[in-house]
Amino acid sequence: MYAARNAGMNADDLARIAAALVAAIAQAKTRAKTFGIDPDFREIVRQAREMHDLLTEALAENQSLSTAYLRDLSYTTGKAIDQLEALVQMPDGKTTNLPRPRPGIRST
C-alpha cells in the first residue's frame, strides 16, 4: 500500500526526491542527445517516472508538506517525463523531436 510507503516522509525527503527527479530528467535529455534512445536512456526515464510517482503520492498524502513550488515542480516534471516517454516509443531511436528549451526559459 502506498500510504505506508509515504507516511513517514518529511520536507527533507521531498526535497531529495525533487532534486533527484530534476537530475534524472537532465541526465535523460543529455543521454538522448549524446547516444540516442538506448537501453540506458530507457532505464533513466523509467526511474524518473517512478520518482515522479513517489513525489506525487507523497504530496497527496502529506498535505502539510505540499507547497505551491512542489506541486508546480511535480506538474512540470510530469510533462517533461511524458515527452521523454514519447521518445522511448520512437521505433528508430532518433532524437530529432527532442524538445528544445524555449527562449527565456531555463531547461531542467
**37-59 confidence digits (pLDDT tens):** 999 999 999 999 999 999 999 99
Q: What is the pLDDT of residues 13-26, one digit of tens each?
A: 999 999 999 999 99
Separation between Cα atoms, residue 17 and residue 64, nearest integer Å: 17
Q: How many CB atoms lie within 10 A of CB 9?
A: 19
Q: How many CB atoms lie within 10 A of CB 72?
A: 10
Residue position matching grid coordinates 510530469? 78
Domain boundaries defined on the chain: 9-88
pLDDT confidence of residue 54? 94
Q: What is the mean pLDDT of the chain?
A: 84
pLDDT confidence of residue 19? 96
Cell for 72?
508546480
